[in-house]
Amino acid sequence: MAKEFSVPPVVFPSSAGNPNVPQQRRAPGAAPFQPPRPSNPGPANPSLPFMSFDVGSAPASSSFSAPVFAPAAGGGFSVSGSFDDEPPLLEELGINTRQIWRKTISILNPFRVNPDLHEDADLSGPFLFLMAFGLFQLLAGKFHFGIILGWVIVAAFFLYIVFNMLAGRNGNLDLYRCLSLIGYCMLPMVIFSALSLFVPHGGVVIFLMAAVFVLWSARVCTALLVELASCGDEHRGLIAYACWLVYMLFSLLILF
Protein backbone atom coordinates (compact mmCIF):
# COMPACT_ATOMS: atom_id res chain seq x y z
CA MET A 1 0.00 0.00 0.00
CA ALA A 2 1.45 3.36 -1.08
CA LYS A 3 2.13 6.01 1.54
CA GLU A 4 0.64 9.45 0.97
CA PHE A 5 2.68 12.66 1.52
CA SER A 6 1.18 16.03 2.23
CA VAL A 7 2.37 18.80 -0.20
CA PRO A 8 2.01 22.41 0.95
CA PRO A 9 -0.01 24.61 -1.38
CA VAL A 10 1.75 27.14 -3.70
CA VAL A 11 0.59 30.75 -3.45
CA PHE A 12 1.20 33.27 -6.27
CA PRO A 13 0.74 36.80 -4.98
CA SER A 14 -0.66 39.19 -7.57
CA SER A 15 0.93 42.39 -6.17
CA ALA A 16 4.64 41.38 -6.09
CA GLY A 17 6.93 41.54 -9.14
CA ASN A 18 6.21 41.33 -12.77
CA PRO A 19 3.39 38.96 -13.78
CA ASN A 20 5.35 37.89 -16.86
CA VAL A 21 8.19 36.48 -14.73
CA PRO A 22 7.48 33.18 -12.96
CA GLN A 23 7.38 33.42 -9.17
CA GLN A 24 9.30 31.22 -6.77
CA ARG A 25 7.65 28.94 -4.28
CA ARG A 26 7.47 30.11 -0.72
CA ALA A 27 6.51 28.35 2.40
CA PRO A 28 3.10 28.95 3.87
CA GLY A 29 3.09 31.83 6.31
CA ALA A 30 6.35 33.43 4.91
CA ALA A 31 6.44 37.12 4.10
CA PRO A 32 6.49 38.12 0.41
CA PHE A 33 9.89 39.07 -1.12
CA GLN A 34 10.64 42.79 -1.19
CA PRO A 35 13.46 44.09 -3.48
CA PRO A 36 16.17 46.19 -1.75
CA ARG A 37 15.90 49.92 -2.16
CA PRO A 38 18.91 52.25 -2.58
CA SER A 39 19.80 54.49 0.33
CA ASN A 40 19.89 57.67 -1.84
CA PRO A 41 17.52 57.17 -4.76
CA GLY A 42 17.71 59.62 -7.64
CA PRO A 43 14.97 60.79 -9.94
CA ALA A 44 13.35 57.68 -11.30
CA ASN A 45 12.42 57.20 -14.90
CA PRO A 46 8.96 55.60 -15.16
CA SER A 47 9.83 53.72 -18.34
CA LEU A 48 12.97 52.07 -16.86
CA PRO A 49 12.44 50.69 -13.32
CA PHE A 50 15.32 50.86 -10.82
CA MET A 51 17.34 53.08 -13.21
CA SER A 52 17.64 56.83 -13.68
CA PHE A 53 19.27 58.80 -16.47
CA ASP A 54 19.79 62.47 -17.15
CA VAL A 55 19.71 62.53 -20.94
CA GLY A 56 19.45 66.29 -21.34
CA SER A 57 22.74 66.99 -19.51
CA ALA A 58 25.06 66.04 -22.45
CA PRO A 59 25.56 68.87 -25.00
CA ALA A 60 24.81 68.05 -28.60
CA SER A 61 27.58 68.38 -31.18
CA SER A 62 26.70 70.59 -34.12
CA SER A 63 29.69 69.75 -36.38
CA PHE A 64 32.22 66.96 -36.91
CA SER A 65 35.83 67.87 -37.75
CA ALA A 66 39.25 66.43 -37.07
CA PRO A 67 40.90 68.03 -34.04
CA VAL A 68 44.10 70.02 -34.45
CA PHE A 69 45.93 70.79 -31.21
CA ALA A 70 47.58 74.18 -30.69
CA PRO A 71 49.07 75.68 -27.53
CA ALA A 72 46.69 77.97 -25.69
CA ALA A 73 47.43 81.02 -23.55
CA GLY A 74 46.95 79.24 -20.22
CA GLY A 75 49.57 76.57 -20.88
CA GLY A 76 47.02 74.03 -22.20
CA PHE A 77 45.93 73.16 -25.71
CA SER A 78 43.11 74.42 -27.87
CA VAL A 79 41.36 72.40 -30.56
CA SER A 80 40.79 73.67 -34.08
CA GLY A 81 39.35 71.89 -37.10
CA SER A 82 41.25 73.64 -39.91
CA PHE A 83 43.92 72.07 -42.15
CA ASP A 84 44.84 75.27 -43.99
CA ASP A 85 48.01 75.76 -41.94
CA GLU A 86 49.40 72.31 -42.76
CA PRO A 87 52.66 72.40 -44.82
CA PRO A 88 52.75 70.68 -48.24
CA LEU A 89 53.64 67.01 -48.40
CA LEU A 90 56.87 67.56 -50.39
CA GLU A 91 58.03 70.10 -47.82
CA GLU A 92 57.39 67.65 -44.99
CA LEU A 93 59.43 65.01 -46.85
CA GLY A 94 62.31 67.47 -47.34
CA ILE A 95 61.95 67.70 -51.16
CA ASN A 96 62.49 71.21 -52.50
CA THR A 97 61.44 71.20 -56.15
CA ARG A 98 62.65 74.75 -56.80
CA GLN A 99 66.10 73.96 -55.48
CA ILE A 100 66.28 70.79 -57.60
CA TRP A 101 65.32 72.78 -60.70
CA ARG A 102 67.97 75.44 -60.03
CA LYS A 103 70.66 72.81 -59.52
CA THR A 104 69.63 71.12 -62.75
CA ILE A 105 69.88 74.38 -64.70
CA SER A 106 73.33 75.04 -63.23
CA ILE A 107 74.58 71.63 -64.41
CA LEU A 108 73.48 72.36 -68.00
CA ASN A 109 76.17 75.03 -68.38
CA PRO A 110 79.58 73.40 -67.80
CA PHE A 111 81.47 76.70 -68.07
CA ARG A 112 79.46 78.66 -65.50
CA VAL A 113 78.71 76.32 -62.62
CA ASN A 114 77.19 77.92 -59.53
CA PRO A 115 78.55 76.03 -56.51
CA ASP A 116 76.44 78.08 -54.06
CA LEU A 117 73.33 76.19 -55.16
CA HIS A 118 74.94 72.88 -54.14
CA GLU A 119 75.83 73.95 -50.62
CA ASP A 120 72.78 72.10 -49.30
CA ALA A 121 73.20 68.50 -50.42
CA ASP A 122 70.15 66.36 -51.17
CA LEU A 123 69.42 63.01 -52.77
CA SER A 124 66.02 63.74 -54.34
CA GLY A 125 67.40 65.16 -57.58
CA PRO A 126 70.13 62.49 -57.98
CA PHE A 127 67.55 59.75 -57.46
CA LEU A 128 65.38 61.20 -60.24
CA PHE A 129 68.36 61.38 -62.61
CA LEU A 130 69.42 57.81 -61.85
CA MET A 131 65.88 56.53 -62.42
CA ALA A 132 65.70 58.44 -65.71
CA PHE A 133 69.07 56.99 -66.77
CA GLY A 134 67.85 53.48 -65.99
CA LEU A 135 64.58 54.14 -67.84
CA PHE A 136 66.36 55.18 -71.05
CA GLN A 137 68.55 52.12 -70.75
CA LEU A 138 65.43 50.02 -70.37
CA LEU A 139 64.06 51.52 -73.59
CA ALA A 140 67.28 50.38 -75.26
CA GLY A 141 66.65 46.83 -74.03
CA LYS A 142 69.06 46.91 -71.07
CA PHE A 143 67.91 46.38 -67.49
CA HIS A 144 70.56 48.27 -65.51
CA PHE A 145 68.73 49.73 -62.50
CA GLY A 146 70.63 47.69 -59.93
CA ILE A 147 73.96 48.19 -61.69
CA ILE A 148 73.48 51.98 -61.84
CA LEU A 149 72.61 52.30 -58.16
CA GLY A 150 75.47 50.03 -57.14
CA TRP A 151 78.04 51.83 -59.28
CA VAL A 152 76.96 55.24 -57.96
CA ILE A 153 77.53 54.10 -54.37
CA VAL A 154 80.93 52.62 -55.27
CA ALA A 155 81.87 55.80 -57.17
CA ALA A 156 80.90 57.96 -54.18
CA PHE A 157 83.12 55.89 -51.90
CA PHE A 158 85.93 56.07 -54.46
CA LEU A 159 85.87 59.87 -54.82
CA TYR A 160 85.42 60.33 -51.08
CA ILE A 161 88.52 58.27 -50.30
CA VAL A 162 90.61 59.80 -53.10
CA PHE A 163 89.75 63.39 -52.19
CA ASN A 164 90.34 62.98 -48.47
CA MET A 165 93.63 61.20 -49.09
CA LEU A 166 94.78 64.08 -51.30
CA ALA A 167 93.58 66.78 -48.91
CA GLY A 168 94.92 65.06 -45.81
CA ARG A 169 93.69 66.27 -42.45
CA ASN A 170 92.27 69.45 -43.94
CA GLY A 171 89.77 67.61 -46.13
CA ASN A 172 86.15 68.30 -45.21
CA LEU A 173 84.30 66.39 -47.93
CA ASP A 174 81.61 64.15 -46.43
CA LEU A 175 80.15 61.10 -48.12
CA TYR A 176 76.59 62.49 -48.31
CA ARG A 177 77.68 65.57 -50.27
CA CYS A 178 79.90 63.48 -52.52
CA LEU A 179 76.96 61.21 -53.37
CA SER A 180 74.76 64.24 -54.07
CA LEU A 181 77.33 65.81 -56.42
CA ILE A 182 77.89 62.60 -58.37
CA GLY A 183 74.14 62.17 -58.78
CA TYR A 184 73.55 65.69 -60.06
CA CYS A 185 76.49 65.44 -62.46
CA MET A 186 74.83 62.35 -63.97
CA LEU A 187 72.55 64.69 -65.93
CA PRO A 188 74.83 64.71 -69.05
CA MET A 189 74.85 60.92 -68.93
CA VAL A 190 71.04 60.94 -68.86
CA ILE A 191 70.97 63.18 -71.94
CA PHE A 192 73.51 60.94 -73.69
CA SER A 193 71.44 57.86 -72.85
CA ALA A 194 68.34 59.50 -74.37
CA LEU A 195 70.16 60.58 -77.55
CA SER A 196 71.79 57.18 -77.99
CA LEU A 197 68.35 55.72 -78.74
CA PHE A 198 68.36 57.56 -82.10
CA VAL A 199 72.04 57.08 -83.02
CA PRO A 200 73.33 53.81 -84.51
CA HIS A 201 75.77 52.03 -82.25
CA GLY A 202 79.17 50.90 -83.42
CA GLY A 203 79.95 54.04 -85.44
CA VAL A 204 82.22 57.01 -84.90
CA VAL A 205 79.36 59.36 -84.00
CA ILE A 206 78.34 57.50 -80.86
CA PHE A 207 81.93 57.43 -79.57
CA LEU A 208 82.38 61.17 -80.20
CA MET A 209 79.15 61.84 -78.33
CA ALA A 210 80.37 59.67 -75.46
CA ALA A 211 83.64 61.63 -75.23
CA VAL A 212 81.80 64.98 -75.16
CA PHE A 213 79.31 63.97 -72.47
CA VAL A 214 81.94 62.28 -70.32
CA LEU A 215 84.09 65.41 -70.38
CA TRP A 216 81.00 67.48 -69.57
CA SER A 217 80.16 65.42 -66.47
CA ALA A 218 83.78 65.22 -65.32
CA ARG A 219 84.32 69.00 -65.66
CA VAL A 220 81.16 69.90 -63.70
CA CYS A 221 81.85 67.35 -60.95
CA THR A 222 85.46 68.50 -60.60
CA ALA A 223 84.48 72.17 -60.37
CA LEU A 224 81.89 71.46 -57.67
CA LEU A 225 84.24 69.27 -55.64
CA VAL A 226 87.03 71.82 -55.74
CA GLU A 227 84.78 74.77 -54.88
CA LEU A 228 82.76 73.14 -52.11
CA ALA A 229 85.57 71.26 -50.33
CA SER A 230 88.74 72.82 -49.01
CA CYS A 231 92.26 71.92 -50.17
CA GLY A 232 91.08 70.66 -53.52
CA ASP A 233 92.35 73.39 -55.81
CA GLU A 234 95.95 72.21 -55.69
CA HIS A 235 94.92 68.66 -56.66
CA ARG A 236 92.48 69.61 -59.42
CA GLY A 237 94.15 67.39 -62.04
CA LEU A 238 93.99 64.23 -59.94
CA ILE A 239 90.39 64.91 -58.93
CA ALA A 240 89.44 65.51 -62.57
CA TYR A 241 91.06 62.20 -63.56
CA ALA A 242 89.07 60.34 -60.86
CA CYS A 243 85.81 61.96 -62.03
CA TRP A 244 86.63 61.09 -65.64
CA LEU A 245 87.09 57.42 -64.68
CA VAL A 246 83.71 57.39 -62.90
CA TYR A 247 81.68 58.79 -65.80
CA MET A 248 83.62 56.82 -68.40
CA LEU A 249 82.43 53.73 -66.56
CA PHE A 250 78.79 54.86 -66.90
CA SER A 251 79.25 55.64 -70.58
CA LEU A 252 80.27 52.02 -71.19
CA LEU A 253 76.76 50.98 -70.11
CA ILE A 254 75.38 53.04 -72.99
CA LEU A 255 77.95 52.07 -75.61
CA PHE A 256 77.91 48.30 -75.07
For residue range 97-133, what is the model confidence (pLDDT) as tens digits? 889 999 999 999 888 888 888 888 899 999 999 999 9
pLDDT of residue 78: 47
Quick check: 17 pLDDT over 60?
A: no
d(CA 200, CA 86): 52
Name the phi and psi angles at 61, rounded to 5.
-90, 130
pLDDT of residue 71: 54
pLDDT of residue 203: 87
Task: With H, G, I as helix, E, B as strand and everything else as coil, classify residue 64.
Answer: coil
d(CA 193, CA 135): 9
d(CA 55, CA 247): 77
Residue 218 pLDDT level (bands cut at 50, 70, 90): very high
Q: At what angle do helices 97-107 and 175-184 cross, to 10 degrees?
A: 70
Paired strand residues for 68: 80
Task: With H, G, I as helix, E, B as strand and everything else as coil, classify residue 185.
Answer: coil
pLDDT of residue 50: 47
Give me the helices (H) in 62-118, please: 89-92, 97-107
Residue pLDDT, tens place only, 179-193: 999 999 999 999 999
Between 79 and 244, name the one with better pLDDT.
244
Q: What is the secondary structure of 20-45 as a DSSP string?
A: TSPPPP--TTPPPP-----SS--PPB
Task: With H, G, I as helix, E, B as strand and everything else as coil, classify residue 79.
Answer: strand
Q: What is the pTM of this model?
A: 0.65
- Judged on CB neighbours under 10 Å (0-12, 13-18, 19+), 149 is middle
d(CA 220, CA 115): 10
pLDDT of residue 63: 47
d(CA 226, CA 240): 10
pLDDT of residue 222: 93
Share of the chain above pLDDT 90, in %: 43
pLDDT of residue 157: 94
Q: Please list, in sequence order, all residues whose beta carbon lies within 8 angstroms of the beta carbon of residue 103, skipping any fewer than 6 positions away.
A: 117, 118, 125, 184
- Range among 6-15, 86-95, 98-107 with highest mean pLDDT value: 98-107
Give the chain's end-to-end CA distance (angstroms, integer).
118
Residue 136 pLDDT level (bands cut at 50, 70, 90): very high
Quick check: 30 pLDDT over 50?
A: yes
- Range among 9-13, 130-134, 223-227 with highest mean pLDDT value: 130-134
Task: With H, G, I as helix, E, B as strand and everything else as coil, classify residue 108.
Answer: coil
d(CA 104, CA 113): 10
Give me the helices (H) in 48-123, please: 89-92, 97-107
